[in-house]
Chain A
Amino acid sequence: MNISYLGPLQSAIARARSLLFTPFRLETWLVLGFAAFLSDWFSGGWGHSSWVRKFGRGHFTGGHFPGPHLHDLLPALVWGPLLAGLIVLAIAVGLVFLWLGARGKFVFLEGVACGRAAIVEPWKHTAPLGNSLFLWKLGFAIVSGLVILGLIFATIGTALLGWLGFHERVAMAPPIVGGIALVGLVGLLVAFVGLLLDDFVVPLMYRHGIRANEAWRRFLPLLREHLGQFVLYALLVLVLFVAVGAVVMAVGFATCCIGFLLLITPYVGQVVLLPLHVAYRAFGPEFLGQFGPEFQVFASAPPAQAPVPPVTPAPQVPPVPEGPA
């Protein structure tokens, strides 16, 4: 099977051009830009992560740690519940963002697939798909977070043992370096799974109207068979991100940094960069479509609906003859 990389990219760019420029309609940009904002910004984009980091620095790590004296326990009584409340609030906000991002993925994908600038209708009829994606992402985030945290703690623990003199410091170096490398490797793997999820599994969910687990079941045999090609796709995406990032930086510097202000403004940034968002959203499905008709998201009519249970015909009940009561 001849798999092309530039062909799908060209098709994705052509799709973006056709959708956004022939003809140019401002409301298409504003509505699809909102869909892109829902899809990307809430899925852990720069704004979300930087906000969380800032929040964490300002409120969680800078506080006064209570001492053992009674008069020191009073601030602890105040700060403890406040800290717990803030953590719960941060988790709740994170969950809402994750859910919005998962729902937004299908709204934006439908806009790109159908050339339709709409929010409310796709939001409603792709709800089961978005909710399924949310649950999958939540589970994946918890598992991968625990694995990465476990590795980090193990590495720090090993370093502490060496620092406290329990072991030879020189002997501690290989496990520490190995731990750091392992964290990096797991991080790369998580990023790769995230890319596969967004670029291929989400379109498959949309194409067949199936839940996330079922979409992975259909995608994994393909991944096993063509792993090298999907890794090359991921590398191409990385190269494209670097190239586009360089161009965006150049434009930002050429506009007295006002361009940067526009780009970092939620929603406005997505509208300004909409051609890139649409082309990238289309690239994954275009690439996937080369592997067979069952993987073609754009060519055929996508159901974009949750699985509907088969309708069973009502049992034939013989008519009851009417008679006098």
Chain B
Amino acid sequence: MPKVLIPTPLRPYAGNQESVVVEAGTVGELLEQLASRHEELRKHLFTPEGKLRSFVNVYVNDEDIRHLEREKTAVRPEDTISIVPSIAGGAPIAAGTEAPPEALSQEEILRYSRHLLIPEVGAEGQLKLKRAKVLLVGAGGLGSPVGLYLAAAGVGRIGIVDFDVVDASNLQRQVIHGTSDLGRKKLDSAAETLRDINPHVQVDRFETALTGENALQILRDYDLVVDGTDNFPTRYLVNDACVLLGKPNVYGSIFRFEGQATVFAYPGGPCYRCLYPEPPPPGLVPSCAEGGVLGVLPGLVGLIQATETVKLILGVGQPLVGRLLLYDALGMRFRELKIRRDAECPLCGEKPTIRELIDYHQFCGVPRAGSAAEEPAGPDIDVLQLKAKLDRGDRFLLLDVREPHEHQLCRLRGSVLIPMREVPKRLEDLDRNQEIVVYCRSGARSAKIAQLLRASGFPVVRNLTGGILAWSDKVDPSVPKY
């Protein structure tokens, strides 16, 4: 009968025999017989799905069965069957880009010397950093300083979720990208910068928007999450996913001259929903793209997030839990608000009602970017149609709803300025019998005003889709984009 030679390490699972004689017609039958006779051997040879493990090769005499008929290869009574693992490997191409999580190399000891000198960090703390896995949601204003400093500090694995490309208007604050990166994927640009700062860091790239479908999958692998998002749907999404997975959410937000930071979803601490159970009405809180932001602001707020991240990894100090840190750049003042976990919180309270991720765009009443089906209803007008309309000399009101300083920067000829927040007070000034075309920078604010005007009984209101940006792209490039 065919004889199977058992590799030494597997002999304890085969009754300590050097070889086993098995009656079988094919290699497949033989392996199955062997495994059913020695059940313990099974898991060493087969995956739980019953497939031969990737490293297991089977030889009939001196022939690899892959060169014969694989598991259907016939075996004769006089054959000897050997089980041989395939082995390969190699150092990474760029030496030193990976290192064991168990030890610091000489190069790392030198690199992290200023950390190793601090008793609260030391080699033990540095190894904690090295083993840490941090996910950055967004490689923008906040993600830039967080990524730069966490990489420099030696956080072993940094995941980045971003699907944007580097735009000239990013460079005023998103310091992880440079002028030569314009037009590149932010992920590529950021990964390259981080690798240059610290080749020991593994950068995982997720080129996608974080969604209810992928968030748990992406977050699952990381120890903590740094929220660098600029919109409410993603903020609630990050919060909910962190609470459901039990991972701290290091939160920061910025607007113009003011910033906020705290740590949500820390054991015993509050979550974002404890602070803000409901999102603000759509359009009430402008984003940085709409309202602007002082370029240095995300630097400071991002570094508060980075500091909290490093503290959480090291397990030192007082984490910013249960405290919302408010920063006012103009007054150069920090204030702190106490925030508590809400026992009634639908997510992290005593009787949670949210047990899975939901549709966050719907929850926040915000249409998904780029999904035409969910654009606000109404007869909109694009820039080329507007150009034709102006050229024809049609009579209508061209209403600019941006802020005065934006109007000063650039405007469409013949337009009347009424800043967005003043429109509701000045409805009486508008002629209800005249057609109105509303515009802003990107078409977002004007869409809301167009809706408001329609709801207030104005019969013909059109929103200029794409706003000034589209006008500059498609009609008159001399109008600056900002």
Whether both chains belong to one complex is answered with no
Which B positions have Cβ atoms within 8 angstroms of A? Answer: none
Which A positions have Cβ atoms within 8 angstroms of B? Answer: none
